[in-house]
Structures are given as structure tokens and as C-alpha cells.
Structure 1
């Protein structure tokens, strides 16, 4: 039921009001007395929010409804309203046909595997604690969540001057970014600012391919940079002042280097580029690797000495602020960096990038294939990690072989310090997958 980022899927097929009702009942029955609920701009979120709220109240839990807000706004509101959990009805960067549900703790961290398993078990077994007729929960609407988040964002950065910033909201819930940057003295131009859950301006997921309008606007104005969110604004990607898309790993390196110092660690999933390792090495810091998924990155940032965490997808976590990926905070941090350190294009050019290769192979029996891959890889290499898939490090680069969590695919990623090294690592990795897939098919 849960993926690495909560529940997501097509509305009316995988994500239904019945499911939302059950999740609400399960969260309440698992011990939550008060829950903050919010949603993104998708129209289907109206009925799903009503359903999850009904499930909560039916089991005696009070609901603080903050309405349409960015996911980090909702996540930060859990502790502010002294709640036990938060629920965001969102499919994040997925297409408008989808919706989903994500669960949050008071720390701002998403529910981890154990708590997700507990909720899933209750849903599967219909194990709920329905309240008496006179003990049903209340539902109260609160309109101060965004104001509180905005105050925290303003306090977290020091922006000098009046830089011109273009903010592409993608028709989503991230309007707080534009308003806070305006309050900080920036000259702000917005794109796709009208909230519309069909995402008519561009697809909800910001990528190099979907941000062409942002790139063009920034390139043809005096803007210092452009930033872009996904539908619920937990992600942040950027464009430099020349209109050039900032590679995700480079953005990761810039954020990490900006906060880390001697002896510090930065949490990064196993598919993160060498660019981040090298940037941190230059300041005496290092990477600590995690499984793929912001919940695992967030968990690692709770350890001593871990000052930042991120995913190349655009999820950035400053643990001193919140354990939720906070796109508006990331936008403010990036503007702060540019106003203090200079041109974003120059900062990007100072980060060395390396060739990377990717592919996906359709397989039968992912578990058997991955088991065989582990055996073969260990026979050939010594620097092997099996935290999430199989990751091999060499002096020339690394490769990762990892099963998809949602499809019958095994994904291969390889990065080398030269093109030839990347090709060689990629060829070795794909050969492992081919041989292991053949072996699994034969054994089956």
C-alpha cells in the first residue's frame, strides 16, 4: 500500500475515498488524538480529505484542517498545533490523474517503515477503535499555518539586496515561496501561479525538459535565478541567470557545501553523484549514504554530526529547521547563497560533474535476480554496499543495481570520473543483470 513516499496512485482505482477513510481510521486507532490535515490543489483532494477526516473523527480524533497548503507547511504545523500526526492528501509530482496520502510525525519526518506497516496492517485487518456517538472528534479549520511557516522561513535566511527571482509554481500549492521572497526584498515574477490541479502550465514534476518556459524567461530578463516546485512544493529545482537548468546533483552539492564544515556529514541516498562527495571533501566533510526515499534521508539527519540531507530528485532537508523536505526553504536558501556568494552560474561551473549512464531492464522475479546479482558482485568486487540494491565503488567511479519498488524492473546507474570509466562500469553492471536474469529464469 505504501511506497517510499506514502500512498500514491490513480484516483478511483488505487486511491479511493474508501481507502482514505480507512487510513484515517487507522491513524486514529494507532493512538493519534489530534491530527493536522491538509491537501494540494488536485480536485480529487476535496473528497479524499473529507474521507480521511471522517475516518479520524469516527475514531475520536480531533482534526485541524489547514486547507490547501504546501506539504512542508502542513508537516511543520503538526508540532505547532500540538498534534500527534499530520496527513497530506497529495500525489506530489505525479500527473493529475493521481492522488495520494502521506503521513507525518511532529518532528516533520514522514512515517517510517514500522509506523507505515502498523497503519497498513490495521487497514488490511479492519482493526479500528470506533468511538461512541458522544466521543466523536472535532474538525476545526485553521488559516494560520502558512503565516507561521513564512515567519520561520524569513528567520532562517539573510538575503541582501533586491535580486530579481522568477518562481515557477507549476499551478501547485507553493505560493508561500513567492510571498516570502517578496517579503525578503526580492523582486519576484511568478509563472504558473494559478492553482489548478490539472496542471495546465506544465507537468507537475519539474525537470530539465518541463522547465523550458522558466529557462526562457530567466534568460531574457535580469533575473538572478529561477526556481521551480512540484505540485505540493516539497521539491525545489533551479535555473541559473543564463537560463541554464542546474543539474540536480550540482544543486545538491551547492546546498551541502553551503552548510557543512570540517567533520560534518551529509545524508545522501545511494544513487547520489560523486559531485557531492567531491564538494564535501573540499571542505573536510563527507557523505553518509542512505536508502532511496526522503524518509530514510530524514532519519539519518537525526544523527549527531549530520547537518544536511537531500535527494537528487529535489528534496532538501535542513534538520535544524525541519525533517520534512521543504521546497520554499530551499528556494530561500538558494537566494541567500547567490546574494552572498555571487553568480549562480559561476557557482555551478565550480562544481565538477561526471558522466553518468542509466538504464532499466525488465525482469521476471526481481528478488531472485537481485539475490543472484549480490552473489556475483561479491565474487568480483570488495567495495560493495547492499544497503539499497547493490552499490559498487571503484577508484574510477561506481555503479548501482537496484530493483524498482513499483515495477518489474531492475535499474542500473553508473558514474565514472571519465566517459570511458562510466562506460566500463555501466557495461559491467548491465552484464551482471543480464546473467542474473538468465539464471533466475532458468532456475524458475
Structure 2
């Protein structure tokens, strides 16, 4: 493990640290160390524009305290004033950076990753994710390619009180009794959602049943939350609830289930929310932005109703960029990371859950809305572990795998598709097959995953 004493602030740290699709993320004690966090804080403090404070939040991981303290040390060494929000959702940092006129923000979280991992996400003034150019400057600083400034003495303040403002921002436009009479199950994933989710839903009149409802850094994301829906589905069915929501570790995404325990994923949420906005005249060009992972059934149903759909690469930053460029009001990912321009273009699981629940009219259930949306094409995703980063990133150069993908697409002849991509945060190659027939999906997903495993790991 790197030693703080051997890496004075502002000195060259590592040539191998870079920002992925969602910040810097890795195993605590491996890539993620206090030394790295301090250096990222220092260079981030120099790169951020403006003179306002820098906000720091964290999820419930046990390593969060350590890494937050190291980030504070680096930021204050760069002369920054730091406001520490403590345990909070990632979107709380982004929204409060914007609302408070802060110079930027930092979130310590590894999102949906296991407890042993952690990560650092940075936000610029205005609450948007740090631009690639600014990320590259921080990387250059870590490599020792930028001159360090003289150490300064910033200050640090505990500001958990600001979460009350965040909660009020989420409630804007919703009535106190908006969810009156609805029984809702919330899987809080032992993570960031425990900071404020249940009280928000109760303040709107909902009867709330909590799962995994206290912060636990050793259990975050383990067998629960948006990556493990079985506990939520069972609780909804057993309790007779109308719907349920499952958040990920830092609560920037959410998945829902209806009263029958059926999945309501990001595609369904985009369809339902988009339809409501279109009916209210608040969806320009009837345009939605989604990623290459979104279901063909969703796309065809949306287009058949006169809508437009723009696809991007996987990652909320690509959705965000496309929404800005196209003037779109709503976009997101199948995984439940949804962005709405009417609420600041910050992916927010709590906001999405509240807005989806509020769409339901008296006497209407989420199951009713789901039935009126679209029928998904069968789709399967398999993760193939490929430790070699170069092989993983350049999988197209593996002829046997590339040829098998071409054969699959030719045989499906427009009634299906294959998507192979390297994860930006984990040593995984993600293989997805979608087709009008489950048998075709099962055949090709097993075939392609086996080829990837064999050819890329030997």
C-alpha cells in the first residue's frame, strides 16, 4: 500500500491512475489508498474553477471516512474551503454544488461495486461531472507533469445540515399527500439512500416498508439493492405493496418492481415518464435519449407512437452530453440512471422514484402503467471476467470473437442484436444478446460468452 509519508502532497504519485467512465474506482488498499485520495484532492483543488467551497459526500463504505479525510487534506493543502456533507447520495453533492454556488464537489463511492471497493467522483461548478479536459489535468498532476503550488491552508466544516435543502429540492412540485394511501417497499441497500429516502416518501403520505435500511459499510450492495432485486420482489409480494424501489450504493440510480413483483427498469421508466411529459407538452420533439443497452421493444414502441430516440454509448456522461447537444428533456440508462432537464440534469435515484410514484393517478397501479408501456424483447447479459485490460479493451482484434458476433447478427437479420463492451469500472467484458426469440438469445449468449472466455483469457 502506498505510504503518505513517501508521497508528499503535490509530488508525482502514479503514472497508472486515470478516470474511467464514472471517476476513479478500485480495490481499497490496492488502487484506492489515502495517498491517492490526498493527491486527487490536491490536484482537484487546483484544477477546479471559482473561489467557492468544495463539497464532499460519501456512501456508507467503511473506507469512506479514511478516503474523505485524505481528500480533505489534499483540498485544504490546495487552499480550498471544504464542506463535508457526510453520508449522502451522490446526486445530493451535485445538486447542492449547484444550489450553493460551490466551486465543485467530490463523492467517495464505488456505486454498485462490492464493499471492498471504493471510488472518487468529481463535480465541477454547476453540478456537472468534471470535464474530460479537467480530468486530464488532474491525471497530469498525479504523474508529476504539472508544477505544484505552494501549500496553502484551507478550512473544513461539517455541513450535514445541507441535506435538508436537498430533500426540499426533491419535493418541489409534489404535494404533501401525493402518495397518500400507497404502500411502498424501499430497498435502501445499506447505503447512501438510508440518509433520507424513507422520510421523503413518508412526508408525501406513503406507507413505507424498509429493507436494508441502515448504513452498513460491510454489507452495501451485498445481495440487495438495484443489482439484486429478489429481496425487494419478495417483500412487495408478501406485504401486498403496490410497488417497490431498489437503489444502488450511492443512490444515483433506481429500479422499480410493480405489485406483481415484475421488474420496471430504466427503459420502462423512460417510457412512462416520457409519455407523461409529452402529454403535458414538456418533452421537446418527443425525444428521449437512451444508451445502446436499451431494449428494442422499448425503441420500437416509442417510435410507433411518434417519438424519437437517440442512442449513446453506455455511461450517464454520454447521455448528459447528448441531452445538452440535442435539447432533450429526458434520458437515461436501462440500469435505472435517469436524467431529467426539468430537475437539473443530475442522475438521481430518489428523484426518479418519487416522480415515478407521483405519476400514478388515484386507483391506478404501477402494474397498470407497465402493461400499457411496451413488451420487452428477450435480452440477456453475461459478464466475462478478463483480467488483461488490453485484451478486454481491444476485444474486436480477437478474430474468433469478432467473427462469432458477425455470424450472430447475420442470422438474426434485423430481429436482434449483439453488444459487446468492456466495463469502464471493473475487469469485465459485458456480452449482451437481444432477439425476438428467447431460444435465439440463449443460444448466442452462451456461445459468445464461451468464446470470449476461451480466447481472451488464454
**Do the two structures share a fold, i.e. TM-score over 0.5?**
yes
SS in 1 for 2:143: helix
Tell me whether 1:416 sits opposite 2:435 in the alignment. yes
1:81 positional shift: 2.1
Query: Does 2:375 align with 1:352?
Result: yes
Distance (whole Å) between structure 2 residues aligned to residue 240 and residue 203 of structure 1: 20
Q: Distance in 1 between matches of 2:337 and 2:267?
A: 11
Determine which of 59, 64, 77 is the counterpart of 2:78: 59
SS, match of residue 109 in structure 1: coil
Aligned length: 426
CA RMSD in angstroms comes to 3.4
Alpha-carbon distance in structure 2 between the residues aligned to 1:192 and 1:139: 31
Mapped to 2, the partners of 1:360 and 1:212 lie a distance apart of 19
CA contact (8 A) 2:385 2:429 kept: yes
Deviation at 1:116, TM superposition (A): 2.0
Residue in 2 aligned with 1:184? 204
Is it true that 1:22 corresponds to 2:39 in the alignment?
yes
Deviation at 1:372, TM superposition (A): 6.7
- Which residue number in structure 1 is paired with residue 110 of structure 2? 91
Contact 2:56 2:106 in 1 (8 A): yes
1:247–1:126 CA distance, 2 compared to 1 (3 A):
same
Given the alignment, which residue of 46, 58, 64 partners 1:39? 58
Provide closer, same or farther for how the CA distance between residues 418 and 259 of structure 1 changes in structure 2, counting only shifts above 3 A: farther
Of 243, 263, 277, the residue aligned with 1:259 is 277
Provide the C-alpha distance between the structure 1 equivalents of 2:221 and 2:412, rounded to a whole number of angstroms: 41
Listed one character per residue, the Cα deviations across residues 90-133 of structure 1 (whole Å, up to 9, x for unaligned) are 1112111111111112333222433222211211226364345x
TM-score (norm 1): 0.84
The Cα of 1:220 is off from its aligned counterpart by 2.4
- The residue number in structure 2 matching 1:150 is 167
Aligned twin of 1:140: 157
Match of residue 215, structure 1, among 220, 233, 250 = 233
8 Å CA contact 1:87–1:104 kept in 2: the answer is yes
8 Å CA contact 2:40, 2:142 repeated in 1: yes
The alpha-carbon distance between structure 1 residues 201 and 81, as it changes in their structure 2 partners (threshold 3 A), is closer
Query: 1:343 is matched with which residue: 358, 362, 365?
Result: 365
Residue 28 of structure 1 and its aligned partner are, at CA, apart by: 1.2
Deviates more, 1:90-99 or 1:157-166: 157-166
Pair 1:104–1:340, CA change in 2 (3 A): farther
- Give 5+ residue unaligned stretches, structure 2: 1-17
Larger mean Cα displacement after TM superposition, 69-78 or 392-401: 392-401
In structure 1, stretches of 5+ residues that fail to align are 385-391
Give the 3-state SS of the residue equivalent to 1:93 in structure 2: coil
Select the residue among 288, 292, 299 that pairs with 2:321.
299
Call closer, same or farther: CA 1:405–1:393 in 2, change over 3 Å: farther
The answer to whether 1:79 aligns with 2:98 is: yes
**What is the TM-score normalised by the length of structure 2?**
0.82
**How far does residue 341 in structure 1 lie from its aligned partner after superposition?**
8.0
Q: Is the 8 A contact 2:412 2:435 kept in 1?
A: no
